[in-house]
Amino acid sequence: MAQSGISSSIPEVIQKFLVKDKVVVVTGGARGLGFSFALGLAQAGANIAAIDLDVAPGPHFERLSQCGGKHRYYRADVTNYEVLKATIDSIARDFGSIDGCIPAAGIIRDRPFLQHTPEDLIDTMNVNVIGVFLTVQLCAAKMSAQGTGGSVVCISSTAGHRSLFPQTISAYTASKYAVRGLVKQIASELAQHKIRVNSISPGVIKTDMLESVMQANPTRRKLFESSNAMQRLGNSEELVGMVLCLMSDASTFTTGQDFLVDGGQI
């Protein structure tokens, strides 16, 4: 959607980073990185359609109400095509358009390769790859039909660039390499529809998922903190600037790229 009501007192270069009135779909949007992306975009003027598995989001979700735009929560499983399609259809009707998509829903199984079960692999690929594929496909179809273009920001990882041994996350690593490959391919295909597709690769970011890994193996905290040049864990808010840039008109000639936000890990 076209931006409107932006004060002429704001420098033109800053206006390019605003996403006022854009409708952005965020999967995994009720918590963790997904919620951080949703909140940051809402603060920059976007309307947020958050998708997650919970029956209802936690109280923190109401922070979106303070941002002045429109937001709504939808319960759906990103691996269930029919449910996800019905949800994306509902979002398009409720908001009038879909201008951006961040498929941030993801899971991790931390277990040695020889102990990874078929269920570990299937569950991880279903959420981290198939869920991303289907979410982007359904949202991009809406963007194409609108004829207005849009932006997609997928979430890979430093695990999608190299082995993070001694972490034991083989299925997760495979899924994040897959995300980067998917971005390269569909960016080429969707460019004709004025849809840009990029990804970010976060390093070790403090999330509930990472906390669970560190609690299960306390030695991992020191390992994570020493794995990058800054010698610390990152905060989810430190990813928001890159997401905002890629979702906004500040990056209109950028597609098919992956951006590391990792404190100098890679």
Quote the distance between the C-alpha of residue 43 and its chain's center: 17
Q: Distance from first CA to last CA of the chain, Å, rounded?
A: 37
Nearest to 27 by CA among 130, 131, 124, 121: 131
172 is catalytic: yes
Backbone dihedral region of 18: left (phi > 0), alpha (psi from -120 to 50 degrees) or beta? Answer: beta
Q: For residues 206 and 208, give the distance between their C-alpha atoms in angstroms, rounded to a whole number.
A: 7
Catalytic: which of 73, 81, 172, 177? 172
Who's near 62: CB < 8 A, 6+ residues apart? none
Calculate the CA 82 to chain-centre distance.
21
Catalytic annotation, residues: 172
